[in-house]
A = this chain, B = another copy of it.
Amino acid sequence: MTRTNTAIQQPTAGDNLEALFQPRSIAVVGASANTRSQGYEYVEGLVKFGFPGPIYPVNPKLDELLGLKAYPRLEAIPGPVDFVISAVPATAVFDLVEGAKAKGVKLIHFFTARFSETGRPDGAEAERELREKTKAAGIRVIGPNCMGLYYPKRRITIDPMFLDEPGSVGFLSQSGSHAFRLIGRGRNRGLQFSKVISYGNALDLNEVDFLKHFADDPDTNVIAAYIEGIRDGQRFFEALRYAAARKPVLVLKGGRTSAGHAAASSHTASLASEQNIWNIAVRQAGALEMGSLNELTDMLVAYECVGPARGPRVAVLGGAGGGTVEAADLCAEAGLEMPPIPQTIRESLRERLPYAWDWIGNPLDVSIMMGESNEMDILEMMAAHSIYDGIMLNFHVERALHRLGVDRLPAEAIDRMKRLGTANGKALMMIVEEPESRDESRLRGVLAARDQMAAAGIAIYPSIERATQIMGRYVRYEAQRRALG
């Protein structure tokens, strides 16, 4: 037998998580008829998503909710209950655990908050007691103080407004608001999720379990993590290495600074960690550290929509004039290269562009040329050439609409852009800045074009700074991952 010296200690829940995440039935305890409450929205979400098993609203004050029969207590439910979502106040959780134990519940998600994150001794004590009681009852726990599970493939959601189509991003987030924001923003940019788990104070199931789960989850292609505190450094870094050996892992640490840490401790009661040690360990584990939720979103868009990260050599459509110069500076500062337009392409343009064939460069300045079609023709030649690894389009939608005299970009134009990447197996990024116009029809045109592009699976970035930074990091991280095999 060959001895392996990189043996990974198996995290606790590991393979069993998937079974927990496929309950036969769900009870929402603390269900509410108040349409602005989370106790309503959990039920509404499950109904709207068409969760295939029974959904049981539990609240002694309700007879029914959204057409579902309501029950006064968990124990009053006739059938088995696998998964409980708790939206009751902190004072009611121990009764709930008693009932759950009696019903043979396997998993509870505590949306319920006001535990150790308050920084008060009684809150911390209640959390310790909750840990003991659930452990003794053999019930696994997500939370407390979190939004819980979004698993569109199994028709489980946190919010009725979320997209019900599954995708391949797995996100574990200690923060519920980060989960909401990533899902919400991601939707506008073509991101879809295998699962999102908001896990708050991590009383039981924690980052180690979820990393391991996503690492082995066949539906997950890229793992994103928002982490404020870790319980066990060694087990965490082992799980991180395990996951990063299998998939790209993007880690955003909340509480990197002492001020941030102070905020994190009153958010999810997380403990401090040494920033330097953290940085080195994350890098050594093979994961990529992110600096903000926007950067995390941008990088996920790279993984989901940009296409292959062959290398740093990009063909750039540079906006116009100063925008072209800016694109060049920002590409160079992000570690990208812009090989000049090959002579063969120039020669083939000599007749069609007598005034510009020898003058145009990379980035391509649109203000040098006349009309849209020349740009796309040249870009298609560049995209097909082996000297380029990717294409970046700094595309001024508003000006294009104005120039074309239309209020919607034609679908053929979107297709043609998309094919620049897909037809050549290359990375493609589109920069669509926020509309400058206050003119309603122009504004709608830009927003519609962006939606069309996102729907076509084109990666969209809101600024050239963000696009270039992400392209640079994406290419380098993928090169590093290839090098590590």
**A332 and B436 form a contact (CB under 8 A):** no
**A263 and B318 form a contact (CB under 8 A):** yes
Q: Is A258 an interface residue (CB 8 A)?
A: yes
CB-CB contacts below 8 Å: A367-388 with B: 367-368
Q: Mark A326-352, 1 if CB is under 8 A from B, else 0.
A: 111111110001100000000000000
Known: A254-B325, A320-B177, A325-B175. A263 touches B434 (CB 8 A): no
Partner of A260 from the list B321, B325, B464, B465 (CB cut-off 8 Å) is: B325
Instruction: Name the distance in Å between A298's Cβ and chain B's nearest Cβ.
Output: 11
Q: Is A228 an interface residue (CB 8 A)?
A: yes
Stretch from A61-69, A358-366, A475-483 at the B interface: A358-366
Q: Is A57 an interface residue (CB 8 A)?
A: no
**A326 and B36 form a contact (CB under 8 A):** no
**B322 and A174 form a contact (CB under 8 A):** yes
**A325 and B294 form a contact (CB under 8 A):** no
**A259 and B331 form a contact (CB under 8 A):** yes
In the complex, what residue of chain B is closest to A327 when comparing beta carbons?
Answer: B263
Known: A257-B332, A436-B187. A325 touches B263 (CB 8 A): yes
Q: Is A323 an interface residue (CB 8 A)?
A: yes
Known: A120-B359, A258-B332, A260-B328. A36 touches B465 (CB 8 A): no
Q: Is A264 an interface residue (CB 8 A)?
A: yes
Known: A319-B177, A321-B175, A403-B36. A187 touches B263 (CB 8 A): no
Known: A118-B359, A328-B260, A361-B266. A321 touches B176 (CB 8 A): yes
Q: Is A185 an interface residue (CB 8 A)?
A: yes
**A262 and B292 form a contact (CB under 8 A):** no
Instruction: Name the distance in Å between A369's Cβ and chain B's nearest Cβ.
Output: 12
**A178 and B323 form a contact (CB under 8 A):** yes
Known: A258-B332, A267-B322. A177 touches B367 (CB 8 A): yes
Q: Is A226 an interface residue (CB 8 A)?
A: yes
C-alpha gap A346/B14 in the complex (Å): 44
Residues of chain B lying within 8 A (CB to CB) of residue A434: 434, 462
C-alpha gap A119/B81 in the complex (Å): 76
Residues of chain B lying within 8 A (CB to CB) of residue A443: 447
Partner of A266 from the list B178, B260, B323, B359 (CB cut-off 8 Å) is: B359
Partner of A254 from the list B291, B322, B464 (CB cut-off 8 Å) is: B322
C-alpha gap A184/B402 in the complex (Å): 15
Q: Is A194 an interface residue (CB 8 A)?
A: no
Instruction: Name the distance in Å between A144's Cβ and chain B's nearest Cβ.
Output: 13
C-alpha gap A108/B324 in the complex (Å): 26
Instruction: Name the distance in Å between A450's Cβ and chain B's nearest Cβ.
Output: 10
C-alpha gap A331/B402 in the complex (Å): 40
**B292 and A259 form a contact (CB under 8 A):** no
In the complex, what residue of chain B is closest to A174 when comparing beta carbons?
Answer: B322
C-alpha gap A173/B323 in the complex (Å): 12
Residues of chain B lying within 8 A (CB to CB) of residue A361: 262-263, 266
**A293 and B326 form a contact (CB under 8 A):** yes
In the complex, what residue of chain B is closest to A119 when comparing beta carbons?
Answer: B359
CB-CB contacts below 8 Å: A431-485 with B: 434, 436-438, 443, 447, 451, 462-465
CB-CB contacts below 8 Å: A97-147 with B: 114, 118-120
Q: Mark A267-278, 1 if CB is under 8 A from B, else 0.
A: 100000000000
Q: Is A284 an interface residue (CB 8 A)?
A: no
Residues of chain B lying within 8 A (CB to CB) of residue A175: 321-323, 325
Q: Is A256 an interface residue (CB 8 A)?
A: yes
Q: Is A23 an interface residue (CB 8 A)?
A: no
Q: Is A416 an interface residue (CB 8 A)?
A: no
Q: Mark A393-427, 1 if CB is under 8 A from B, else 0.
A: 00000000011010000000000000000000000
Q: What are 22 sample pairs from A and B whose C-beta atoms fall under 8 A apart? A: A36-B403, A118-B359, A175-B325, A177-B320, A178-B326, A181-B322, A187-B436, A188-B436, A254-B322, A254-B326, A262-B361, A263-B318, A263-B325, A263-B329, A263-B361, A264-B325, A264-B328, A267-B321, A267-B325, A291-B465, A434-B462, A438-B451
The chain A residues found within 8 Å of chain B, CB to CB, are 36, 114, 118-120, 173-178, 181, 184-185, 187-188, 226, 228, 254-260, 262-264, 266-267, 291-294, 318-333, 337-338, 355, 358-361, 363, 365, 367-368, 402-403, 405, 434, 436-438, 443, 447, 451, 462-465
Those 10 A-B pairs whose CB atoms lie nearest each other, nearest first: A175-B322, A260-B329, A184-B436, A257-B332, A178-B322, A177-B321, A254-B325, A263-B328, A260-B328, A259-B332
